Structure 1
Amino acid sequence: MVRKQYGKGVSGSRDGRSRRNRPEITRRRAVIVVINTKVAGFFQENPRAKWILSISGILVLLIILFLWHHYSVRESTDDAQVDGHIVPISARVSGPIVEVRIQENQGVEAGAVLMVLDPTDYKIALAKAQAEYDDAIAEREAASVGVPITSASTASNLSMKQAGLAATEKEVTSANANLASNQAHLREAEANYAKANRDLERMKQLIGKDEISQQQYDATATAADTAAAALESAKAEVAQAEQLVNVAKSHVQQAEAEVRVAETAPQQLQATQARASSAEAKVQRAKALFDQAKVNLQYTTVKAPFRGVVSKKAADLGQVVQIGQPLIAMVSLDDIWVTANFKETQLRKIGPGQPADIEVDTYGGRKYRGHVASISPATGAKFSLLPPENATGNYVKVVQRIPVRIYFDSGQDPEHLLRPGMSVTATVLTNETANKNVESATKKID
């Protein structure tokens, strides 16, 4: 019963609302009929209006299609700036500045003198290094002059000394043989002398008995004297032979000493070569010190490493600077580019090689042409001093931006009007033609 009552109540309310809305519906229908009648009458009175309206609609549709196609193949951002090389020029040596040849915002060529430091101390150091270098060269010449001679004579000298030793040994052998022969002669002379003395004693007895003649006795006495003289001569020859043996032995000892000295010649050669090598090392060390002194003297003249503009002067005349202290900051205007920070959602169709339009705010939106060179491997937030940490606390998703480097096409800035830091609007053309160019360029690189 309750459900039926509830159902009847709902249907009743709906019928009530429909009855109340009927006049409003009727009024709206009447308005539509009137409008249609007026429009039909207008077109009947003005037949061209229908064509004009149709053509206008088609034009509006074409404009919408053109704008959609135009912006669908382009990605643009105004979060972009001109970038370039800003290089600090530092002191390579210490000393007071005695000359400043540039002013801030002055253009200079590569190799132009920017500042000059006092070179007095470095000239003295160079003269000292030159003297030490010359002295080392003289020592090297003195140490190496005997090396070739010693090297060439070492082997031949040893052979000669060994041959001399063999000759002295033969001399000893010959002297010993001569001594043995003389000793044999001595023994023979002693035997003859003993026999002659015995004969003389017997003859003395016989002559006393008048058994022999005086002539026989005299002959025996003469023979005894001859034997005595022969014995003395044999003794003298033995003594001389012994002396010759001793002399020959001394010659052997001397030859052996000379052989030992000759055998040490390679070690002496090595020592000589070591002295020559040490002298050569000293020459190289002195040359290095001389070269360093010469370079230090050159460093007292600070020169521009490239063509550019002096943007900031951090030292002035009379100031004493230290090694590594910044002196000048230079900006190269020949090598500039655009760093455009595109949203990560814009990078799907952007790639290296695609053409780009660059509008510079400084010059009222003046346009330059360029092309995409590269895309950063990480977002800009990852290179910040304090990268965001999303692992803790509440997380709010933020669209990240990724730096894209765009190079200017050559020949567009001969007056060097573009300066690092200028704000620009970068637009990259990402249509099919550009993508084909990217693919072909990538294939050429591969």
Structure 2
Amino acid sequence: AAKQQAAASEAQVAQAEANNVRAQSDLARYTQLVQKQEISQQQYDQAVANAKAMTATVEAARAAARAAQQEIAQAQSKLAQAQAMLRSSRTSTQQVQVSQSKAKSASANVDRMKAELDQAELNLQYTTVASPVNGIVTGRTVEVGQNVQPGQELLRVINLDDIWVTANFKETQLAHMRVGQPVTIHVDATDKDYKGRVQSLAGASGAILSLLPPENATGNYVKVVQRIPIKITFDPDETKGHELRPGMSVVPKVWIR
């Protein structure tokens, strides 16, 4: 549109210049004629006015042409800027894509390194065998530097915070015995009395619970008093000194009243 307007302005300039040339020529001719008094002063004045008007028209046409050229220059400048921005935008898009690819690659490397770190930490944990409870090591079957196999027994840990007494009372002594009754436990090794409670009564006699239960011979009707395992636990803080050991001999006394 700007180029069409510029072309029209150039055409108007050419037309105005042609009209101006003719008007100036008429003015020169009318000047000679008025001097010879061959035309009236009014005709001469009209020729002068027409010449001035044509000159002004030429200037106006030239100004319009210059304005059109400026508009063309501005449009071309804007076009160049738009093209530069388009090229920059394409370059930026490519840079963004490259940056995104680098970010994805870096993220994948981070995930891989994190997985390797987790595996290394897990392998490091395998180098330490931790006991599930606190206690005293006994029955150790390995030495430092010895190779071991999965499932091999290395040692035993005795938890001295979880000690109880298994008392085999006669079945005739259980008539008034109940869970929760207080118990006095005399330990021969320390020659001390400890306080405890009846925690549970076994569901069968010791003979039935043994690895090889005895069987009466045919025709043997002798009545044998059976013994029932009773689990007795120590009261809190009774074993905090860790004086007792599994397997020690004790004499329990259950207070049924």
Q: So what's the TM-score if we normalise by structure 1?
A: 0.34
How far residue 349 of structure 1 moved from its aligned partner, in angstroms, is 3.2
Query: Which of the numbers 398, 404, 407 marks the counterpart of 2:231?
Result: 404
Query: Which of the numbers 170, 174, 177 marks the counterpart of 1:349?
Result: 177
Report the AA paired with residue 76 of structure 2: N
SS of aligned partner of 1:349? coil
CA contact (8 A) 1:358 1:426 kept: yes
CA contact (8 A) 1:179 1:245 kept: no
SS of aligned partner of 1:426? strand
Residues 1:429 and 2:255 are matched in the alignment: yes
CA contact (8 A) 2:17 2:58 kept: yes
SS of aligned partner of 1:352? coil
Query: Which of the numbers 77, 81, 86 marks the counterpart of 1:251?
Result: 81
1:293-308 matches, within 5 Å, as: 294-296=124-126, 299=128, 306-308=134-136
Match of 1:320 in 2: 147
Match of 2:200 in 1: 375
Higher helix content, 1 or 2: 1
How far residue 350 of structure 1 moved from its aligned partner, in angstroms, is 2.4
What CA distance in whole angstroms lies between the structure 1 residues aligned with 2:97 and 2:199? 66
Q: Identity over aligned residues, as a percent?
A: 21
What CA distance in whole angstroms lies between the structure 2 residues aligned with 1:303 and 1:409? 23
Residues 1:338 and 2:165 are matched in the alignment: yes
Query: Which of the numbers 318, 322, 329 marks the counterpart of 2:156?
Result: 329
Query: Which of the numbers 50, 64, 72 marks the counterpart of 1:242?
Result: 72
What CA distance in whole angstroms lies between the structure 1 residues aligned with 2:228 and 2:84? 96
Segments of structure 1 that go 5 or more residues without pairing to the other structure are 1-174, 214-223, 389-397, 432-446
How far residue 340 of structure 1 moved from its aligned partner, in angstroms, is 2.0
How far residue 329 of structure 1 moved from its aligned partner, in angstroms, is 1.7
CA contact (8 A) 1:193 1:228 kept: yes
SS of aligned partner of 2:139? strand
SS of aligned partner of 1:375? strand
CA contact (8 A) 1:340 1:406 kept: no
Instruction: Compute the RMSD of aligned alpha carbons.
Output: 6.0
How far residue 426 of structure 1 moved from its aligned partner, in angstroms, is 3.1
Report the AA paired with residue 248 of structure 1: K
**In structure 2, do the counterparts of structure 1 residues 402 and 307 end up closer, same or farther at CA, with 3 Å as the change threshold?**
closer
Task: Give aligned pairs, total.
Answer: 225
SS of aligned partner of 1:320? coil
CA contact (8 A) 1:179 1:242 kept: no
CA contact (8 A) 2:161 2:242 kept: no
How far residue 402 of structure 1 moved from its aligned partner, in angstroms, is 5.0
